[in-house]
Amino acid sequence: MTPGSTQSPEMSLPSLLLLLLPPFLTLEPAGATLIRIPLRRVNTGFKALNPLRGWEKLEEPPSLGAPSPGNKTFFVPLSNYMNAQYYGEIGLGTPPQNFSVVFDTGSSNLWVPSVRCHFFSLPCWLHHRFNPKASSSFRSNGTKFAIQYGTGRLAGILSEDKLTIGGITGATVTFGEALWEPSLVFIFAHFDGILGLGFPVLAVGGVRPPLDRLVDQGLLHKPVFSFYLNRNPEAADGGELVLGGSDPAHYIPPLTFVPVMIPAFWQIHMERVQVGTGLTLCARGCAAILDTGTSLITGPTEEIRALQKAIGAIPLLMGEITRSGFSVCLSGFAALDVPPPSGPFWILGDVFLGSYVAVFDRGDRKSGARVGLARARPRGPRQ
């Protein structure tokens, strides 16, 4: 939590806040052999790892091509620490060199630190680093790239190698070797890099995102993935990223889909935000982005101020604290003003997504992109 955080009495989010999304279609997923990526969770305070680039020059995303045969779904277990940061494991190269990455729906590039990083790039020396000389499948590219996130930036060169993720092996991807990471957020991060799951139009350098490469090469039958984020801080697992579909065991039906408004970020239309019975925000409808790379729920400053007041939150300048063995309950909302033409919009981060299973479906030539939401099944007594 950064300075300017807010403190509020402990209370149930669903009883206070109702985010209304227009229903589009309710479906149950067909059975499939699912492949899982475990998640872990780590607490680094408030973050907004989103490029939030202007959209005035966006083009149509490239075609995903014909779907590949088979109907397999891949599971990637996620790690979770104090409900603030979720990450999982991937491998790059032959043999695979393992890295912890944030699976970020708010960006579209894959990058990890490099052994060739700058001597004064401290985050590089504190994390796992990719060594091209240790991989027999490495292919040099050398194109320079730079990414600016909401709370950090980095620069490096593009390279090509094999990706291993959730049981999928042999996928050729173009990724970034980070040579310069000057931002403090990467020093304290428990993850090594970021794997973007946004649309191709967001990819820096015109790089084909990893999800698209998996589909292009017939290693994933359709461009669909889902997140289950375990919000119980005492649980051993942080949840799962599921590639190719969703696991009905993670949620309580129905699974309701809403269309994506702009195929860049996972942006949908939100009808309104109802706080108790006395306050309505986003009263005329507004844009909202579902983003696994942001911890909190963010919105326009004036509306967030009204929301914080309604739930009894007060400013807390020192950030997240624990005194005499007692933890302070912190609000899960933060103000973030995104100017036109990109904004304004709300960001529904992990605080929101932790209550749901979110299915991200890129669609195909016949149907557009959509997001499905269903109530997550609780795990553990404190979830």
Query: Which amino acids are annotated catalytic?
Result: 104, 291
Q: Which residues contact 345 (CB under 8 A, 6 or more apart)?
A: 267, 286, 287, 288, 289, 338
d(CA 141, CA 206): 13
User: Which of 37, 381, 14 is closest to 227 using CA atoms?
Assistant: 37
d(CA 204, CA 222): 23
311: three-class secondary structure by DSSP: coil
Strand partners, 294: 48
Per-residue DSSP letters for 62-79?
PP--SPPSS-B-EEEEEE
Element (H, E) at 304: helix 301-310
CB-count exposure of residue 66 (10 Å: 0-12, 13-18, 19+): exposed
Query: How would you classify the pairing of strands 110-113 and 193-196?
Result: antiparallel
Q: Which amino acid is at 106?
A: G
Distances (CA, A) of 232 to 88, 241, 246: 17, 17, 20
- What are φ and ψ of residue 87, in 5° steps? -150, 165
Q: What is the largest CA-CA distance in the chain?
A: 63
